[in-house]
Amino acid sequence: MSKKVTCLVLGAMLLALSFPAQAQQPKKVPRIGVLWLYSPDIASSFAEAFRQGLRGLGYVEGQNIAIEERWAEGRFDRLPSLAAELVRLNVDIIVTASTPAAQAGQQATRSIPIVMTNVSDPVESGLVGSLARPGGNVTGLSLMHPELSGKRLELLKEVIPKVSRVAVLSNSSNPIIPPLLRETEAAARALGVQLQVVEVRGPTEFDGAFSAMTRDRAGALVVLPDGIFQNERRRIAALAAKGRLPAIYAWREAVDAGGLMAYGASVPDIFRRAAVYVDKILKGTKPADLPVEQPTKFELVINLKAAKQIGLTIPPNVLARADKVIK
C-alpha cells in the first residue's frame, strides 16, 4: 500500500472515530429563572409544586435543567433589580410569581420568554394583548377572576347574615387591587353591606389597621390577595382572632396558618401547570402562541378551630360546600 493510500485510510479512520466523541458532547442545560415576590418560607410549597411539575415532564434539576431563583421577600421595590439580574444571567425562560413580578420581568426583557403565575388580570395589567393571543414574550396562568372577590363577600354574608359593616384589607400600591376592590364594592352594594377599606402597605401598619377596624365596629374582614398579606398571613390570622373578626382570604395557605376561610384557586396546582408552559417553550413554542390559562376549579377551605376560637358557628349549608374542613 502506498504512503498516500495509507494516509488516506488513517485519515478516514480518525475522522470516523471523531464522530462518537462529537456525539457525546454534553448538550446545553436550559436555565430557568424564577422571580418570587414572596420569601422562601412562604413560597416553599409553590416552589416544590413547580419542581414536581417539571419532574413529571422528565426534567431533573442538576441534570437536564437548572433553576435560578430570586426572592423579593414581599418587597415590590426589589423586583426590578432581581429581574434584571436574571436577564444578565441569560436564562432561557423566566417564571414569575405575582402580577408585580411579571411586570418587572416584562420591563427587564422583551425577548426572553416569561411564564407568569398568580396574575389576577393579565390583560388589564398590560402583560398580554389578550388571553387567547398574548402577542409578546409573556404567557402563563392567571390566578383568579376578579369576580371572586365579590364571591368571598357573599360567603361571609352567608356565614354572618346580620353583618352590616365589613373591613377590606387592601394595598393600593399593588396593581391587582383596584379591579378586585371594584368587584368587592359591587357585591357590597348588592348585599346591602357597608365597606371599610383599610390600607396596609408594609408590615408595620397591621396593628393600626386592626385597631381601626375595631374602632369602626367592622363585623367581618375580607383580605384581598397581596404579597405582603401572604407573607404576614399568620400575623393577620392572629390579629383577626384577637379582634374576634371572621375573615376570608384568597389563599388556602392563610387558613392553614390559622385563618377562618379561604376561597380561590389552588396556587400549588397553578405552579405545577406552569411547568407545562416551560416544557412547551423549551421545545420551541413561542409565548405569543400559547393562550393564557385561567383556573377552572376553585376550593373553599374552612377552619373550624378558628371558628370556635372566635365563637362562630359555620352554617351547615356552607360547610357542606367546603372542599376542605380543618377541625
Instruction: State whether 69 and 196 are in the same domain.
Output: no
In a domain, 237, yes or no: yes
The single residue listed with the C-alpha cell 377551605 is 301
Cell of residue 13, nine digits: 479512520
Query: Cβ(153)–Cβ(188) under 8 Å?
Result: yes
**pLDDT (0 to 100) of residue 279:** 98
Q: What is the pLDDT of residues 30-79, one digit of tens each?
A: 999 999 998 888 888 899 999 999 999 999 999 999 999 999 988 889 99
Q: What is the DSSP letter of 120?
A: S
The pLDDT of residue 307 is 97
Q: Which residues contact 278 (CB under 8 A, 6 or more apart)?
A: 32, 54, 93, 95, 115
Q: Are residues 137 and 238 in the same domain?
A: no
pLDDT of residue 15: 53
User: 275 and 172, same structural domain?
Assistant: no
- What pLDDT digit, counting tens, does each position of 10-35 carry? 555 555 455 454 445 557 899 999 99
Name the H helices within the chain: 3-23, 40-56, 79-88, 99-108, 148-159, 177-191, 206-215, 227-231, 233-242, 252-256, 267-282, 304-309, 316-321
241 and 319, same domain (yes or no): yes
- 266 touches 297 (CB < 8 A): yes
**pLDDT the model gives residue 312:** 97
Nearest by Cα to 112 from 71, 73, 72, 68? 68
**What pLDDT sits at residue 149?**
86
Domain ranges, residue 127: 31-144+267-297
| 196 in the same domain as 273 | no
The pLDDT value given to residue 228: 84
User: DSSP letters along 165-186, please?
Assistant: EEEEEE-TTSTTHHHHHHHHHH
Residue 17 included in any domain: no
Segment 76-102, tens digit of pLDDT = 899 999 999 999 999 999 999 988 999
Residue 93, pLDDT score = 98
Q: Classify residue 304: in a domain, yes or no.
A: yes
Residues 243 and 322 in one domain: yes
CA distance 170 to 3: 86
Cell of 225: 390577595
> Among the residues of 89-136, which ranges form H helices?
99-108
Characterize 224-263 residue by residue with b for buried, 16 or more Cβ atoms within 10 angstroms of its Cβ, and e for exposed: bbbbbbbbbbebbbbbbbebebbbbbbbbbbbbbbbbbbb
The pLDDT value recorded for residue 21 is: 45
Which residues of the chain have a pLDDT value below 70?
1-26, 144-146
Same domain, 181 and 319: yes
Instruction: Fill in the DSSP letter of residue 92.
Output: S
Which one-letter DSSP state was computed for residue 293? B
218 contacts 182 by C-beta, under 8 angstroms: no
Based on the fold, state whether residues 242 and 258 are members of the same structural domain. yes
Does residue 18 lie within any of the structural domains? no
What is the CATH number for 140? 3.40.50.2300
Residue 105 belongs to some domain of the structure: yes
Contact of 171 with 99, CB cutoff 8 Å: no
In a domain, residue 88? The reply is: yes
CB contact at 8 A, 143 and 117: yes
- In the block, cell 422562601 appears at 40
Residues 83 and 140 in one domain: yes
**Nine-digit cell string for 180:** 378586585
